[in-house]
Amino acid sequence: MSNIDTTPVLKTEHLGITFGGLKAVEDFNISIAPNELVGLIGPNGAGKTTVFNLLTGVYQPTEGRIELDGQEMKDKKPHQMAKAGIARTFQNIRLFKNLTVLGNVKVAFNQNMKYGIFQAILRTGGYWREEEEIDQKARELLSVFNMQDAADKIACNLPYGQQRKLEIARALATNPKILLLDEPAAGMNPTETAELMEAIRIIRDKFNIAILLIEHDMSLVMSICERIVVIDYGMIIAKGTPKEVANNPKVIGAYLGE
Ligand SMILES: Nc1ncnc2c1ncn2[C@@H]1O[C@H](COP(=O)(O)OP(=O)(O)OP(=O)(O)O)[C@@H](O)[C@H]1O
């Protein structure tokens, strides 16, 4: 059966936000198809994280609109955006440091669980069945990242690269339509970075989701993204394939001007 659904999983129209007098993001238009891997790049302070904060309900836009799977997202709080299908990771690792690796993933699954508080307190059969299912799903997810053997380790004892991967696994456990990754390779060594990039490609294919990836390092996104959006001073200055973007004089100028 051919997939002829062309509704973008994420679409923004004239999205913008002003802090005081400063337009941190302005006229931001993007349309991401299901299963697309898109890079959002730009120099320091260009507005990339602010775009993520708008897309995840951390900030309310002062202009424009956001559509997720054809539905307008208006006045939504972060947990509502997450429930609607937008998951994210942060520039700084935000794991439950003292929980196990498995525990970190299970917490995210639990946010979507079906049984209610009374079943949890009374520990009915339904509760245990669902707990078992979550345990299994969490372990499967860890195995995608080759981390199944680390399931019982305490999160803060993992090497840095694995903590980053765990964050992504946790975000995936919320069953998103689109995953937003904010500089996932920040602080990684070249081997960890190469591994992570491979993992990102695999999860896109395996989970059939769209990914929007912020990256400061241009060469890194160039190698895995099909399409790249470049912002500078809060505005899109270029969009296109990695090759088109790399040869765009405005992009070269923005990066050289840093
Ligand atoms: N809550 C806020 N209040 C005031 N200004 C803000 C706020 N959040 C972001 N800004 C401003 O918006 C602009 C864009 O910042 P942002 O962090 O989104 O950039 P970035 O592209 O993610 O940068 P980096 O690569 O350094 O992370 C900056 O000028 C920043 O100071």
Residues with CB under 6 A from ligand 1: 19, 24, 42, 44-50, 216
DSSP 145-214: TT-GGGTTSBGGGS-HHHHHHHHHHHHHTT--SEEEEESTTTT--HHHHHHHHHHHHHHHHHHT-EEEEE
Tens digits of residue pLDDT in 46-88: 999 999 999 999 999 999 999 999 999 999 999 899 999 999 9
| ipTM for this prediction | 0.91
What sign does the CA torsion over 199, 46, 254, 10 have? positive
For residue 63, report the distance from its CA to the centre of ligand 1, in Å: 17
pLDDT of 88-139, one tens digit each? 998 777 888 899 999 999 988 776 655 555 555 556 666 667 778 888 889 9
> Which residue, 170, 237, 180, 235, is CA-closest to 58?
180
* Residue carrying the six token digits 């993007």: 30
Give the H/E segment covering residue 77: none
CA angle 53, 58, 61 (to 5 degrees): 75
Q: What are the distances in angstroms from CA 180 to CA 4, 12, 174, 246?
A: 25, 14, 13, 22
How confident is the model at residue 1, as a pLDDT? 44
In tens, the pLDDT along 54-63 reads 999 999 999 9
pLDDT digits (tens, 9 = 90+) for 144-201: 888 999 999 999 999 988 898 999 999 998 889 999 999 988 888 888 888 888 888 8
Spatial separation of the C-alpha atoms in residues 154 and 144, rounded to whole Å: 19
SS3 254: helix
28 CA → ligand 1 middle, Å: 15
| CATH no. of 1-85+176-258 | 3.40.50.300
Give the model confidence (pLDDT) of 194-250 as tens digits.
Answer: 888 888 888 888 888 999 999 877 777 888 899 999 999 999 999 999 999 989 999
For ligand 1, the distance from its centroid to the CA atom of residue 113, given in whole angstroms, is 35
**Whose Cα sits closest to atom 7 in ligand 1?**
19
Q: How far apart are CA 165 and CA 180, in angstroms?
A: 14
Q: Where are the domains of the chain?
A: 1-85+176-258, 96-175
Question: How many contiguous H segments (helices) and E segments (strands) does the chain have?
Answer: 10, 10
